[in-house]
Amino acid sequence: MHTDAIHQSQFVLLNNSSTPVLSRLSFHVAEPYAVTVAFRTERGRWVEWTFARELLAAGLTDPAGLGDVRVRPDLSEDEAMLTLEIESPDGYASFELEREDVESFLGSTFELVQLGCESEYFDVEALIEEISNV
């Protein structure tokens, strides 16, 4: 069986809360440079953020990201955790993710598209067509 997507769900802690929030990491071969993290809200809706897969990989060992999304292994007191910070004009949130879950997810994405080989899977013509139809 061949797959072109990876989805991994896990519970994360929001802003040092003791109540876990359901989250989902996703990767699609058709968008090889990106990963999406989604969080389930109290009303049952999903809030999604898409950012560079490379940023998530770099954040396993060192602080990564300068913009709206940052991965910070140095902010968690527990070395088994990573902090994912998300900021927008609407607010700020930080989530603690289990490092092992992120490593497993990234390993699965690398099996589909190796880091550095994304251009082999990226369809520039499809992107141009999508942008042109807006």
For all residues of the chain together, what is the average pLDDT? Answer: 87
Q: What DSSP character marks residue 59?
A: T
- Asked if residue 134 has pLDDT above 80, the reply is no
How far is Cα 56 from Cα 79, in angstroms, rounded to an integer? Answer: 16
* pLDDT reported for residue 37: 93
Mean pLDDT along residues 38-57:
89
Strand locations in the chain, DSSP E?
Answer: 5-14, 20-28, 34-40, 46-52, 69-72, 81-88, 91-98
* pLDDT reported for residue 127: 64
Which range of 53-62, 71-80, 115-124 scores highest in mean pLDDT? It is 53-62
Q: Give 76-111 pLDDT, tens digit per residue.
A: 888 899 999 999 888 888 888 899 999 999 999 999
Question: Which domains, ranges and CATH numbers included, belong to the chain?
Answer: 5-129 (2.30.31.20)
- Asked if residue 1 has pLDDT above 50, the reply is no
